[in-house]
């Protein structure tokens, strides 16, 4: 592989739009994050050679969709769907609607289930209520911001936490 080592600074190899095909190939497979950063910071456009690497990482796939494609990235959705945080953010910031592929994963996490219900669905998320009910803070905010009333499933968790039970009673 021919890389311009004269463009090397510190421990980084500088790869530009005008770099050799070998250098572009190196960036494509260096890591998912490096491939995304090359697309975003250097090309300011899609990086087809790097997409095979990007799809291996939920965070890189999310940022590639949001900041480079500025829309859905179907190739990365299976990876995104395996992470509750990135599934929620993909639904909220990229799709701007529900993300069915990621809902089962989101539903297992109380924090991201609450955020998904509040900011994406803008209503109850029955699939995530069992997870929410295990977390006092998520249950309190779900009752307050989503249901606008009692969340019976979460009352046991709330009752076992002094701060959230006091706030819930006042509510």
Radius of gyration over alpha carbons of the chain, in Å?
A: 21
Reported as type and span, the H/E element at residue 63 is helix 58-63
State the Cα–Cα distance between residues 14 and 126, nearest whole angstrom: 49
* Number of residues in the chain: 171
What pLDDT sits at residue 30?
78
> Structural domain boundaries of the chain?
1-95, 107-171
pLDDT score recorded for residue 5 = 36
pLDDT, tens digit, 9 for 90 and up, residues 4-42: 434 433 344 566 666 677 776 676 667 999 899 989 998
pLDDT, tens digit (0-9, with 9 covering 90-100), for 95-134: 999 999 999 999 999 999 999 999 999 999 999 999 999 9
Q: What is the pLDDT of residues 125-169, one digit of tens each?
A: 999 999 999 999 999 999 999 999 999 999 999 999 999 999 999
Other C-beta atoms lying within 10 Å of the C-beta of residue 48: 9
């Amino acid at each position: 592989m021919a890389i311009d080592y004269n463009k090397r600074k510190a421990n980084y190899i500088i790869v530009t739009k005008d770099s050799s095909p070998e250098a572009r190939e190196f960036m494509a497979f260096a890591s998912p994050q490096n491939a995304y950063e090359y697309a975003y910071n250097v090309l300011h456009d899609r990086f087809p050679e790097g997409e095979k690497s990007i799809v291996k990482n939920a965070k890189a796939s999310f940022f590639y969709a949001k900041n480079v494609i500025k829309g859905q990235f179907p190739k990365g959705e299976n990876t995104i769907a395996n992470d509750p945080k990135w599934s929620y953010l993909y639904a909220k910031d990229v799709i701007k609607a529900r993300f069915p592929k990621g809902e089962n994963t989101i539903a297992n996490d109380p924090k991201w289930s609450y955020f998904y219900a509040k900011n994406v669905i803008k209503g109850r998320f029955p699939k995530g209520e069992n997870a929410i009910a295990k977390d006092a803070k998520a249950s309190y905010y779900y009752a307050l911001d989503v249901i606008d009333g009692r969340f019976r499933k979460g009352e046991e968790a709330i009752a076992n936490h002094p701060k959230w039970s006091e706030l819930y009673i006042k509510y």
